[in-house]
Amino acid sequence: MDKEEQRQFFQDTIERNKGILLKVARAYCPNNEDRQDLLQEIMIQIWQSIHKYDDQYKMSTWLYRISLNVAISFYRKNTTRIKNITQYNEQFVLITDEEITENEQNLNFLEQFISELRELEKALMLLYLEDKSHTDIAEILGISVSNVGTKIGRIKEKLKTRFSQIKS
């Protein structure tokens, strides 16, 4: 593939799969500026790796793997700053507008609780909420299928506990 074909393939890939990139960025970056930085890092890594793509694998699996690896690295580099932003957001979320429905409020809490999870747990929940199969999740994250099920069960229990704390 020549440079022009590679550029076009890259642009088409990003356009068709931008939802994946946005979901990963949103899960790891509560702040819009950080999210934009992370998206840029993800796209750079995709561009640098596009020539290595093997079409025997699903494009979405390949993109999730790159996006999550970049997001986890990005998250580790910015842990302190992100932690401070998350703490600020926790205080902000408690000040809610009366017009926000209970479902919207629960979704806000779920998003907040997921943002507090460790990197691998966050990636697991992101993929789980995307209705990815345990097999796909295992392939994307490089862990066993049984480990996926076990970890998702534990994360669900953590989230239930967090919800019960806000309801009491």
Least confident piece of the model among 23-32, 80-89, 139-148, 155-164? 80-89
Nearest to 64 by CA among 110, 19, 15, 112: 19
Nearest to 167 by CA among 105, 121, 115, 114: 105
User: Is the pLDDT score of 69 beyond 70?
Assistant: yes
Considering its fold, how many domains does the chain have in total?
1
Least confident piece of the model among 49-53, 93-97, 104-108? 93-97
Query: What pLDDT shows up at residue 102?
Result: 76
Please state, rounded to an integer, the average pLDDT across all residues of the chain.
Answer: 84
Least confident piece of the model among 29-38, 60-69, 139-148? 29-38
User: Is the pLDDT score of 150 beyond 60?
Assistant: yes
How far apart CA 87 and CA 85 sit, in angstroms, is 5
Which of the pair, 109 or 152, is modelled with greater confidence? 152
Work out the pLDDT band at 94, boundaries 50, 70, 90.
very low
- Is the Cβ–Cβ distance between 42 and 71 less than 8 Å? yes
User: Is the pLDDT score of 85 beyond 80?
Assistant: no
N- to C-terminal Cα distance for the chain?
60
Residue 59 lies in domain: 3-167
pLDDT, one tens digit per residue, over 23-38 is: 999 888 878 898 999 9
DSSP string covering 13-28, please?
Answer: HHHHHHHHHHHHHHHH
- Is the Cβ–Cβ distance between 125 and 151 less than 8 Å? no
User: Is the pLDDT score of 6 beyond 90?
Assistant: no
